[in-house]
């Protein structure tokens, strides 16, 4: 009976160790890219991030390869990626056609 408890304990400790190692690995990779050779895996990180360093470490940390921000078209309500959107007078549209349509047809609420 006691051996079962020991096995369970070993299993939990093993899982915790794997998790801790993975977390430490991810941290060294992140800090290695931003600050330079700090960890043991600094060589691999440097080789990969030398090109990205010129782009700016702060920018990569602020936007870690997230999905593109989506905007909502004022005219039709469709959500479109920001790069494909057209912004006119602070209002975002999914395409230029909708921007023109919205400008040509001002609603009563907008006119006021």
Binding to Zn ion (CB under 5 A) within 62-81 occurs at: 73, 75-76, 78
H helices, E strands: number in the chain? 5, 4
Sign of CA dihedral 5, 11, 14, 15: negative
Are the C-beta atoms of residues 42 and 36 closer than 8 Å to each other? yes
Identify residues 81-100 at the interface with Zn ion (CB under 5 A). 94, 98
33 in contact with Zn ion (CB under 5 A): no
| 32 vs 98 by CB, closer to Zn ion | 98
Instruction: Report the interface residues with Zn ion, using CB under 5 A.
Output: 73, 75-76, 78, 94, 98
């Amino acid at each position: 009976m006691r051996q079962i408890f020991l096995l369970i304990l070993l299993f939990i400790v093993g899982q915790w160790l794997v998790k801790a190692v993975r977390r430490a690995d991810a941290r060294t990779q992140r800090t290695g890219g931003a600050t330079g050779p700090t960890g043991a895996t600094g060589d691999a990180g440097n080789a990969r991030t030398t090109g990205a360093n010129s782009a700016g470490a702060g920018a990569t940390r602020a936007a870690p390869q997230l999905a593109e921000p989506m905007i909502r078209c004022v005219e039709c309500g469709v959500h479109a990626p920001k790069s494909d959107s057209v912004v006119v007078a602070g209002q975002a549209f999914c395409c230029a056609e909708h921007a023109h349509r919205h400008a040509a047809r001002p609603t009563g609420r907008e006119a006021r």
